[in-house]
Chain A
Amino acid sequence: MKDPFQSPIVLLGARLLSPYIMVFGWYVIFHGHYSPGGGFQGGALLAASLLLIRVAGGSRLAELQIREFATTPLAVIGVAIYFATGLAAVAAGGYFLDYELLPIPGMEPAWLRYTGILIIEVGIGLAVMAILVMIYDNMVRGEDYG
């Protein structure tokens, strides 16, 4: 793929579709409490919206979205959100990942569990998105146009 091959129509279609896929990915993550969905599925959708621009526009255009060096720290942040949630419950005197004891004041235990599940879903979504983009970047490194 050394030859520069860029189609403005494909790029326009990808630019049109990508924000909607991204919004739907966040919807799937945050609506996972009420409908089918969750962190893994939403993260895969977020990665799809980023990869669409990467496939259609090349790496130079994709640097405007998420740079290549930023994906690994994002994955680490995603895993760390999950782990820190568990450790916060341990620090408050409970079991690992026991959301009832998260240090958020003024909430009932049941709503604390609700919030804890939401926090870890966001962490999973971030990690899955960053890792799928990272795999693509490593595979096409130096071989795509632009």
Chain B
Amino acid sequence: MKALKILILLFFAGIMIFAASDLPNRGDQENLMHAEESITGTVVKGTYFIQNAYRDARTPNMVTVVLGDYRSIDTFGEQVVIYTAGLITLLILRKGRRRMTP
């Protein structure tokens, strides 16, 4: 059984290494992911973010601009999700005065 586990792990590690050997180089301009037009001929929406992120918010980190400015309502939702998770632990785990009412 233990040998089977090790074999499965090695199998998945082999798949990972095989997949990683075919990844494109970082910043490859010929890569399809960085093209302004997709295969179907439509304009990729991320092009606007890449071209205008620094001009709009003076922030070199593009990811921060997308998360904090263009998609800020989504980030607000994420924060509310975390807040709700905390409040649920407050409700479930805290043993307060819980009377056994008849």
Contacts and interface: CB of A to CB of B under 8 A. Distances in A.
Given A113-B69, A120-B75, A32 B58 contact: no
A48 B23 CA distance: 34
A12 interface: no
Place the interface of chain B in its size category: 20 to 34
B89 interface: yes
B48 interface: no
A127 B64 contact: no
A139 B79 contact: no
A47 B82 CA distance: 14
B80 interface: yes
Contact of B76 (A86, A131, A138): A86
B contacts with A: majority SS: helix
Contacts, number: 94
B6 to A, nearest CB: 33
Interface in B55-102: 55-61, 63-65, 67-69, 72-73, 75-76, 78-80, 82-83, 85-86, 89-90, 93-95
A134 B89 CA distance: 8
Interface of B: 55-61, 63-65, 67-69, 72-73, 75-76, 78-80, 82-83, 85-86, 89-90, 93-95
